[in-house]
Structure 1
Amino acid sequence: MKLRPYKSSDLESVANLFTASVHGLAIGHYDATQRAAWAPQPPDLSEWNERLNGLHTVVAEDNDNELAGFLSYAMNGYIGLLYVSPRYPRRGVASLLYREIESALLLAGVEVLFTEASVMARPFFHRQGFLIAEEQIVSRRGMTFKRYAMRKSIKAGR
């Protein structure tokens, strides 16, 4: 796997990976109606362009330059998106992306990371040392979802 910064030419691949991830990996956590509301098919590229605007995104590619995952974050420590292709579940892609971003944010002086993790992503973030700050219920396209506001201190020297 290799990591690189997102380019605007990645937009469709990132949106398609997100959609495939939700529909392929979240089956045990969300029903078909919830998955359709969370990740409509086909993805709306203008919505995705707006969603990624203002965030820094790093993509992971396999040896054939196929997108294996991506992580989007803000310089204030917010992790907004972390998704892995259904072709690469539990193969270290999310961990590789996360470690890269945590290191970069620590070097930038960020002391706390925070995210809103889905039911599916909560165990991953917990393994990275995040703690639940609050359980939330959110609505997306008329469907409700449980998510978790999570935080992690990354102060240098701890």
Structure 2
Amino acid sequence: MFRLINASDSFTLKQIYQKVVQELAPSLYNEEQVIAWSAFPNDQDKFNNFILKPDTYIIEKNQEIIGFCGLEKNGHIASLYIHPKYTRQGYGTQLLQYVLNQGIKQGITKFYTEASFFSQPVFQRCGFEIIEMETVKYGVVSFERYKMEKRIIEEKNE
């Protein structure tokens, strides 16, 4: 159900990314923001860096890739995208929890991310807290998003 991506998965991840933004973002973002955001994967080099630089894990259902989540060595969750057909069914939470567990096995004790308005609830369900809002730009278009973090507290055996 979970695995690391292969370079050959790039096209499918690009499709998922664009479908998520084009179908889910319009309820929370304006048209200009949706267009700017969904254009990001068109720069193949930047998109490949976005998915291949971190350890990006995918979730599959019936041999179909339905989402992906990237984890950098420093604890940064670089991405979390679930195909719109599978949202609100727990797959995002399952995938994020799996990725967090992989990070914990690697010794990561602090995770952080920049969450969109529609991914923020998934991060919150997995124990992330909002640190602050930030404004970023895709080209000339501004977006607000949540800076969030989760700290892992080791339990001491007495």
* Structure 2 unaligned blocks of 5 or more: none
Please give the alpha-carbon distance, in whole angstroms, between the structure 2 residues aligned to 1:79 and 1:41.
18
- Percent identical pairs in the alignment equals 31
Provide structure 1 residue ranges, at least 5 long, that are not aligned to the other structure.
Answer: none
Determine which of 107, 110, 113 is the counterpart of 2:108. 110
Counterparts in 2 of 1:71-90, with a 5 A limit? 71-90=69-88
CA RMSD of aligned residues (A): 1.6
Alpha-carbon separation, structure 2, partners of 1:123 and 1:57: 21
Gap change, CA 1:44 and 1:111, over 3 Å in 2: same
Q: In structure 1, what is the equivalent of residue 14 of structure 2? A: 15
Match of 2:147 in 1: 149
Higher helix proportion (structure 1 or 2): 2
Offset at 1:42?
A: 7.1
2:57 paired with 1:44: no
* Cross-structure match for 1:3: 2
Aligned pairs, number: 156
Contact 1:12–1:45 under 8 Å retained in 2? no
CA distance in 2, matches of 1:103, 1:86: 24
Whether the 8 Å CA contact 1:59–1:71 is kept in 2: the answer is yes
Alignment-mate amino acid for residue 17 of structure 2: F
Structure 2 residue identity aligned to 1:155: I
Structure 1 length normalisation: TM-score?
A: 0.92
Three-state SS of the structure 2 residue aligned to 1:27 is: helix
Partner-residue secondary structure (3-state), 2:42? coil
CA distance in 1, matches of 2:118, 2:124: 11
- Runs of 4+ aligned residues of structure 1 deviating over 2 Å after TM superposition are 41-47
Change (3 A) 1:13 1:91: same
TM-score, normalised via structure 2 length: 0.92
